[in-house]
């Protein structure tokens, strides 16, 4: 029985080439990169420096601007809390968006409890925030704008270069959580006016527990108050012995991603479009969530009207995907990202996110189309909402007996 | 959290999935839940003159546990009288389907759907009786 993995935005398998690169640093080259006085340390340090270069190259940065972290959640905390505390004399206002990842939302919410003021921008129905919205939100006391490069649930890409340019004009630091965009689409921190950027290895076929944050050193020199103390590693920004194998894996994954990006992004976008076309051909009443053009090549978020996401996932149980349905979340809340698009909660409950990847094949896609169509039809037969809609009832006018 | 075998079974082979004529005098219809909550169950019962449920049908918009709970409910009500059907408790559904704590509310909704269907047919009968009485006194 085939098993298909279409949840690459959640995590990716480690590329065999990345694993090969990492293994020596678990075996014979196990040194601490901070051991300055013997070969074990020097070999580890060399590997770490090489990885810094590999990551920097993906975004057009200098290797001196790469700080290693345990992943994007730590990276976002480092950037946001770091800037907030360092620049507190300059101001206490932050601009961000309602559909950011929790790793951005939660630090910002925490800062609100510490006397900071946060403006939460509303995206439009495709998930995009406009430059004008950011312009209107920026004040005299704004110290940071944090907007993700691409959204993890719907794949929508913000107008990053324009926002970066605006922030330069206003003298406000610009941070972008690029976890989903890094290595998938071109990023240039100079051209795009980015001052801080978060990335994660396990989204680009690298190991979990490793990532990096880019911290600009020139024009302007960004300073951060650390969130982890203890020895002053990583320019004092992130103390702690480096996870050398993880760092090596992160670097190797970044290098492969950069090399393969031109061909891979085209191939994967083609498969994604094939998936959408296949579903659209055979199913009525389905909608795509997110921006049709400004989006990641691998992400397809679809709402299948009149059926619920978790039951659909059960119906295609050998295909791994995720859903914005309340039933699939530990909190029983539907996806706040889909809710934030203002399209109605029932669309969230009926949504499935397909996120394709390097190892996705055309057979995978064709199989998925067949399975999804079969399951959707089966569920619609079972659905009182579909029955009512077919009978011409306008579901928005029905008075439901909630409990 | 893997799905329990019984829940998967009800999804693949739903019992009594379908619809009855809602306006028929011997049919009770219960529709509970709301789309924005992610759960809507329609449960229908057909009742004979001895107040016995001779047939039941369901349709559900909801997760696997919700589908299984309502499918199971239609299995259980068949053959019971209305009063016996009122004794079905959501906890029995939880046990039968091995529902985890986070899915208990699905069983509660199924219990509500049964009650709503019973209430509906009772209301229809009371109205019918009132009508025949009214006719009789003319």
Tens of pLDDT, residue by residue over A33-87, are: 999 999 999 999 999 999 999 999 999 999 999 999 999 999 999 999 999 999 9
Q: Which of A222, A257, A292 is the last residue of a domain?
A: A257
- For residue B134, pLDDT beyond 80: no
**Which residues of A form the catalytic set?**
327
* Together in a domain, A25 and A52: yes
Is residue B28 within 8 angstroms of chain A, CB to CB?
no
Q: Is residue A337 part of a domain?
A: yes
Does any domain span residue A278? Answer: yes
Residues 6 or more apart whose Cβ sits within 8 Å of residue A78:
A67, A69, A213, A224, A226, A227, A237, A238
Q: Do B67 and A382 touch (CB under 8 A)?
A: yes
Mean pLDDT over each residue of chain A, to the nearest integer: 96
| Interchain CB distance below 8 Å, A349 and B34 | no
Q: Are residues A111 and A193 in the same domain?
A: yes
The range of the structural domain enclosing residue A144 comes to 16-257
**Contact residues on chain B for A349, CB-CB shorter than 8 A:** 35-36, 38
* Cα(A353)–Cα(A154) distance, integer angstroms: 7
Q: How many domains does chain A have?
A: 2
Mean pLDDT, residues A350-369 taken together = 97
Helix, strand, or coil (residue A82): helix
Q: How far is CA A272 from the centre of its chain?
A: 18
Q: What is the pLDDT of residue B130?
A: 86
B8 to chain A, any CB pair closer than 8 A? The answer is: yes
Tell me: do A240 and A269 sit in the same domain.
no
Top residue of B15, B16, B40 to mutate, by most chain A CBs within 10 Å, is: B40
Please tell me the distance in Å from A174's CA to the nearest CA on chain B. Answer: 36
B59 touches chain A (CB under 8 A): yes
Residue A189 in any domain: the answer is yes
Q: What pLDDT does residue A330 have?
A: 74
If DSSP states are collapsed to H, E and C, what string results for A254-294?
A: HHHHHHHHHHHHHHHHHHHHHHHHHHHHHCCCEEEECCCCC
pLDDT in tens, A363-373: 999 999 999 99
Answer yes or no: are the C-beta atoms of A223 and A271 closer than 8 Å. Answer: no
Which residue out of B8, B34, B37, B130 is catalytically annotated? Answer: B37
Is B11 an interface residue toward A (CB < 8 Å)? yes
Instruction: Give yes or no for residue A189 having a pLDDT over 60.
Output: yes
Residue A1's pLDDT band (cuts 50, 70, 90)? very low
- Asked if B61 and A307 come within 8 Å (Cβ–Cβ), the reply is yes
Give the end of a domain, one of A211, A238, A257.
Answer: A257
Looking at B66, B77, B106, B114, which residue is catalytic? B106
Same structural domain for residues A347 and A278? Answer: yes
Last residue of a domain, one of A210, A237, A257: A257
Model confidence at A329, pLDDT cuts 50, 70, 90, reads confident
Q: Is B63 a catalytic site residue? A: no
- Tell me the shortest Cα–Cα distance from B43 to chain A, in angstroms: 10
Q: Do A221 and A349 reside in the same domain of the chain?
A: no
A6 in any annotated domain = no
CATH of the domain at A350: 3.90.1150.10
Which residues of chain B have a CB within 8 Å of the CB of A311? 11, 62-64, 66-67
What residue in A sits closest to B105 (Cα-Cα)? A403
- My answer on whether A124 and A248 are in the same domain is yes
Q: Are A4 and A367 in contact (CB under 8 A)?
A: yes
Q: How far is A343 from chain B (nearest CA, A)?
A: 11
d(CA A6, CA A300): 10
Flag if B31 and A400 touch (Cβ within 8 Å): yes
Class of domain B5-128: alpha beta
- pLDDT digit string (tens) for A87-139? 999 999 999 999 999 999 999 999 999 999 999 999 999 999 999 999 999 99
Percentage with pLDDT > 90 across chain A: 92
Q: Which of A16-20, A39-43, B126-130 has the weakest average pLDDT?
A: B126-130
Q: Could you tell me if B42 lies within 8 Å of chain A, comparing CB atoms?
A: yes
d(CA A275, CA A299) in angstroms, rounded, equals 11
B33 interfaces chain A, CB cutoff of 8 Å = yes
- pLDDT band at residue B137 using 50, 70 and 90 as cut-offs: low
**Average pLDDT for B118-134:** 89
Residues in chain A whose Cβ is within 8 Å of chain B: 306-311, 314-315, 317, 325-328, 330, 332, 334, 344-346, 349, 381-387, 395, 400-403
**Same domain membership, residue A270 and residue A337:** yes
Tell me: do A193 and A48 sit in the same domain.
Answer: yes
Give me the percent of chain B exceeding a pLDDT of 90.
82
Q: Terminal CA-to-CA distance of chain A, rounded, Å?
A: 40
pLDDT tens across A232-249, in order? 999 999 999 999 999 999
d(CA A25, CA A30): 5
B101 near A CB under 8 A? no
Residue A250: its H or E element: helix A244-282
Q: Report, as an integer, the average pLDDT of A306-335.
A: 88
Task: Give the pLDDT band (50/70/90) at residue A402.
Answer: low
Parse chain B into domains and list their residue ranges.
5-128
A234 CA to chain B: closest CA distance, Å? 39
What is the helix (H) or strand (E) element at residue A323, kind and residue range? strand A322-323
* Domain shared by A234 and A170, yes or no: yes
Q: How confident is the model at residue A400 (pLDDT cuts 50, 70, 90)?
A: confident
């Amino acid at each position: 029985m085939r098993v298909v993995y279409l949840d690459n935005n959640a995590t990716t398998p480690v590329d065999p080439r990345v694993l090969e690169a990492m293994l020596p640093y678990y075996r014979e080259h196990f040194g601490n990169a901070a051991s300055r006085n013997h070969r074990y340390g020097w070999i580890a340090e060399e590997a770490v420096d090489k990885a810094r270069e590999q990551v920097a190259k993906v975004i057009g940065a200098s290797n001196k601007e790469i700080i290693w972290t345990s992943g994007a959640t730590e990276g976002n905390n480092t950037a946001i809390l770091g800037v907030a505390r360092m620049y507190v004399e300059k101001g206490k206002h932050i601009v961000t968006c309602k559909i950011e990842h929790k790793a951005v939302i939660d630090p910002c919410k925490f800062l609100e409890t510490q006397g900071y003021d946060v403006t939460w921008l509303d995206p439009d129905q495709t998930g995009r925030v406009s430059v004008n919205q950011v312009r209107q939100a920026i004040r005299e006391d704004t110290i940071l704008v944090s907007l993700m490069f691409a959204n993890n649930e719907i794949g929508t890409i913000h107008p990053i270069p324009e926002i970066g340019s605006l922030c330069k004009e206003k003298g406000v630091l610009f941070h972008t959580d690029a976890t989903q965009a890094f290595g998938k689409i071109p990023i240039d921190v100079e051209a795009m006016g980015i001052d801080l950027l978060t990335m994660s290895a396990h989204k680009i076929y690298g190991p979990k527990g490793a990532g990096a944050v880019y911290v600009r050193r020139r024009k302007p020199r960004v300073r951060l108050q650390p969130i982890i103390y203890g020895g002053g590693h990583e320019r004092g920004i992130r103390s702690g012995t480096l996870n050398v194998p993880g760092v090596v894996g992160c670097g190797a994954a970044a290098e492969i991603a950069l090399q393969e990006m031109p061909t891979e992004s085209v191939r994967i976008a083609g498969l994604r479009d094939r998936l959408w076309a296949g579903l659209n051909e055979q199913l009525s009443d389905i909608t795509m969530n997110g921006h049709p053009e400004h989006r990641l090549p691998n992400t397809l978020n679809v709402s299948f009207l009149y059926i619920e996401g978790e039951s659909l996932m059960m119906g295609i149980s050998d295909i791994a995907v995720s859903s914005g349905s309340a039933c699939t979340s530990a909190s029983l809340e539907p996806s706040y990202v889909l809710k934030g698009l203002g399209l109605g909660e029932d669309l969230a409950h009926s949504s499935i996110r397909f996120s394709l990847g390097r190892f996705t094949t055309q057979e995978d896609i064709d199989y998925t189309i067949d399975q999804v169509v079969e399951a959707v039809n089966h569920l619609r037969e079972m659905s009182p909402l579909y029955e009512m809609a077919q009978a011409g009832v306008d579901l928005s006018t029905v008075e439901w007996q909630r409990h | 959290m893997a799905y329990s075998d019984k829940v998967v079974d009800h999804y693949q082979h739903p019992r009594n999935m379908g619809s009855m004529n809602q306006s028929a005098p011997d049919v009770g219809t219960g529709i509970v839940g709301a789309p924005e909550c992610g759960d809507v169950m329609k449960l229908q019962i057909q009742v004979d003159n001895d107040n016995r449920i001779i047939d039941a049908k369901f349709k559900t918009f909801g997760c696997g546990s919700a589908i299984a709970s309502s499918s199971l409910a239609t299995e259980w009500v068949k053959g019971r009288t209305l009063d016996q059907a009122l004794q079905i408790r959501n906890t029995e559904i939880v046990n039968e389907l091995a529902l985890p704590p986070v899915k208990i509310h699905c069983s509660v909704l199924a219990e509500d759907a049964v009650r709503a269907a019973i209430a509906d047919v009772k209301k229809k009968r009371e109205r019918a009786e009132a009508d025949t009485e009214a006719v009789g006194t003319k």
